[in-house]
Amino acid sequence: ETGYAPGFTVLNGNGDPVKNARLEIWQANAAGRYSHGADTNTAPLDPNFQGFAIITTDTMGRYRFKTVKPGAYPVSPTWKRPAHIHVDVYGKTDRLVSQMFFPGEELNEKDSIFLGLGSEKAAALASVVPATADIEKGAVLLNWDIVLNKG
């Protein structure tokens, strides 16, 4: 699937937007392979997909990016990671390293990292929201708010 356009808002613990937060984003390609020399997955690399971006939130703590849905990939013979996107968020005071998971993925409930979140699992799941007029036909728009304690 292509055309995923996550929408994010970075907020502090009071619900105020965190402007100019820096986000480093990385993910596997649609085949489940990272564009990184340490990735031992034999899935094909996509020469048109770098899998990494650095972006900054606007004055309302918002940002958006367009990407492909990352493929699941094997970690071991008994563990396959579900589709997810990594984020490293730098606010004014706080830093958060996390993963955004896609809703409805069967592998979510088999993933030790997702399951390890316990009661926080819901906070790691993006939600599908209605596509806006600027989203290409067939694309899916996701939303996932990130809360930094102090911002």
pLDDT in tens, 34-87: 999 899 999 999 999 999 999 999 999 998 899 999 999 999 999 999 999 999
Known catalytic residue at 4: no
Q: pLDDT at position 134, please?
A: 84
CB-based contact 126:101 (threshold 8 Å): yes
With CA atoms as reference, report the closest residue to 103 among 63, 145, 65, 142. Answer: 142
Known catalytic residue at 64: no
Work out the average pLDDT over 130-140. Answer: 86
Known catalytic residue at 63: no
Q: pLDDT at position 109, please?
A: 95
pLDDT for 5 beyond 80: no
Known catalytic residue at 73: yes
114-135 burial, b for 16+ CB within 10 Å, e for fewer?
A: beebeeeeeebbbeeeeeeeeb
pLDDT for 127 beyond 80: yes
pLDDT for 2 beyond 90: no
